[in-house]
Amino acid sequence: MNKYLLKKMTFALLLALLPLLSAAASLPDIRVLATGGTIAGSGASATGSAYKAAVSPVEKVIAAVPELNQIAKIRGEQICNISSQDMKIEYWLKLAARINQLFRLGLADGVVITHGTDTLEETAYFLNLTVAYDKPVVLTGSMRPGSALSADGAMNLYNAVAVAAAENSRNKGVLVVMNDRIYSARGVKKCDTINPAAFADHENGPLGRVNYGKVTFNTRPDKRHTYQSTLKLGIFAATLPEVAIIHGYAGINPQIVETICKSGIKGLVYAGVGNGNPSEEVLTVLAKASADGLTVVRASRVPDGPVTLDAEVDDAKYGFIVSDSLTPQKARILLMLALQKQLPKSEIQRLYFEY
């Protein structure tokens, strides 16, 4: 074939590919930060419930969904590879530092975090308080391993990348995408131990839907749930002050509560019954601990509704703080970050109403 003809064909081919190349070049840069979980898990049988979480590396999790490359330029990083019941503050600090760095250096237009579902809501809320940029940060996971029939991980990951790549996902705070729904980090909870539709936000409902990658937001997040939610307190140390949670129940032994209060913790979240109520005996123990300098937050074991000030408990008298609509596990996260600085209790209480 003569050189002229070859040149003409090459030019024609480039011309034909140009739209595809330019479309690919214009795709957003999405960084997938993997932490493990069922979405990286595998089981021996497609119909058996037994499986092991956190066995696949991030490359394999991404490679299982080649369609991701149609909607974004994907790069993966392995933060850790654990079942999320083993999630730790050190991984939270690593995630927050890496996400802030990626956005500060302009290396990503959005971030997706693949995560076990057991503590996904906690990581999401921690990041909502510590990521200082309005670019999308989206957490997702799966309730079934990829080896199972009707596995949910691939579509959850595809939808999470679609949300992270969507322009209207900015300034909505950290988001959670599970089962075609988009949730705010502040309100979302895992409400079912095994069902693919495990996540919900009963207070605010989902912020929107993502259906085969098509993103629609149906409401603004709670005013507290934007990137401005970031606590300007920042993170000063390699770890955070120890805060414990005690789950209240009928007939709770006050000595157990006293032992935990005296264990060296800096804060206690008491997940009381009803509107965050302790028993009389526990109230006496918490009042003494508060007087001795422990920061006590009244939360509730009840799944929905706020814990309100001075209802059945005289919070002003005992110096207690209420968690408002934060679950006990999220109330703990806010208290850890707030305790890094010697804030007056009135300022910490404001954070619960505003963050």
Residues that bind ligand DGL (CB under 6 A): 37-38, 53, 83-85, 116-118, 141-143
Shortest separation between residue 176's beta carbon and ligand DGL, angstroms: 13
Least gap, CB of 262 to ligand DGL (angstroms): 32
**Amino acid at position 308, single letter:** T
User: Which residue lies nearest ligand DGL, judged by its C-beta?
Assistant: 116
Question: Minimum CB separation from ligand DGL for residue 54, in Å?
Answer: 6
C-beta of 84 vs 130, nearer to ligand DGL: 84
Beta strands in the chain (DSSP E): 29-36, 73-82, 110-114, 137-140, 175-178, 181-184, 189-190, 199-200, 208-211, 214-217, 243-247, 267-272, 295-300, 321-322
Residue 308 appears among annotated catalytic residues: no
Q: Which of 35, 38, 295, 327 is catalytic?
A: 38
**CA diameter of the chain:** 96
Q: From the CB of residue 6, how many other CB atoms can be counted at a distance below 10 Å?
A: 10
Instruction: Using the minimum distance from each CB to ligand DGL, give the nearer residue, 149 or 316.
Output: 149
Distance of CA 110 to the CA centre of its chain: 15
- Return the closest-CA partner of residue 177 out of 150, 203, 207, 147: 207
**Minimum Å distance from CB 269 to ligand DGL?**
21
Q: How many CB atoms lie within 10 A of CB 60?
A: 14
Listed in sequence order, the residues at least 6 apart from 105 whose beta carbon sits closer than 8 Å to its beta carbon are none
Which CB, 37 or 221, lies closer to ligand DGL? 37
Name which of 69 and 85 has its Cβ closer to ligand DGL: 85
Q: Which residues are catalytic?
A: 38
